Structure 1
Amino acid sequence: MFDKMKQAGSLMKQMNSLKKKIDKLETLSESKDGKIQVTIQGTSKIKSIKIDDELLENISSKDLEKNLINTVNDALNNAEKSSKQIMSEMTGGLNIPGL
C-alpha cells in the first residue's frame, strides 16, 4: 500500500515537472518569405505575431490573411510536436491518455 502511494507521489512530481516544461516552451515559426513571425507557447497560446511593415505595403488583405493563417497553423503544429517530444521524454515513451 505504501509503495502505491509513493509511486503516486512520484508520478505527481513528474506531471508537475512536465507541466512546467511545457508552460515554458515557446515555438517560433516564420512565413515562407520570412515577413511574418508567430511565437506560440507550449500551452498553444499565441505569444506574439510580428508582421514586417514592408509586407503590409505590398500585399492584399486576402493574401495577408492566408499567409497569417498558414504561419499560425505551422507554429501550432510545431508547438504540438515539441510538447509531445517533451512528454515522450518525461514518460519514457509511454502513451498516457490525456497528455
Structure 2
Amino acid sequence: MDLMGMMGKLRDTQLKIEETKKRLDTVLIDEQSSDGLLKVTFTANSKLKSITIDDSLLEDKDQLEDYLIVVINKAIEKAESVNKAELDAVTKVDMPMIPGMEDMFK
C-alpha cells in the first residue's frame, strides 16, 4: 500500500471538495408554490437567497406560514440532493474509500 500516494490523493480530494462547496454557493435552486404565489431561491449549499411573496398571501398569516414551510422544505430537499450528488461525484471518482473514513467526506 502506497501510503504517501494515498495521502496525496486524500489532500487532492479535500481540495476538490472545498472547490465544489464554493461552486455550489453559486448554484441556485428555485422553488415555488403550485399557484406561483410564493417563490424561494436557495444555493445548493442550502443558503436562502430570496423570497418573493404575492401580496394576496399577506392577508392570511396562517396560509402564508403554511406556504413558507412547504416551499422552503421542498427547496432545501432539492438543494441537499444537488449538494450530495456533486460531493459524491468528487469523492467517488478521486478517492478509493478506506473502511471507516466515509464520514470524513460528509
TM norm structure 1: 0.79
Residue 73 of structure 2 aligns with which residue? 73
- Runs (5+) with no aligned partner, structure 1: none
Matching of residues 32-71 of structure 1 within 5 Å: 32-53=34-55, 55-56=56-57, 59-71=59-71
| Partner SS state of residue 82, structure 2 | helix
Cα deviation code 1:11-64 (max 9, x no counterpart): 2222222222222222110011111001112222211100122x236x521111
2: CA distance between counterparts of 1:28 and 1:13? 28
Q: Deviating runs (4+, > 3 A) in structure 1? A: 93-96
1:96 pairs with 91, 98, 102, which one?
Answer: 102
Q: Gaps (5+ residues) in structure 2? A: none
Deviates more, 1:88-97 or 1:77-86: 88-97
Q: Which amino acid aligns with 2:77?
A: N
Secondary structure (helix, strand or coil) at the match of 2:25 reads helix
Aligned length: 97
Return the letter of the residue paired with 1:9: R
Under a length normalisation based on structure 2, what TM-score does the superposition of the two structures give? Answer: 0.75
CA RMSD after TM alignment: 2.3
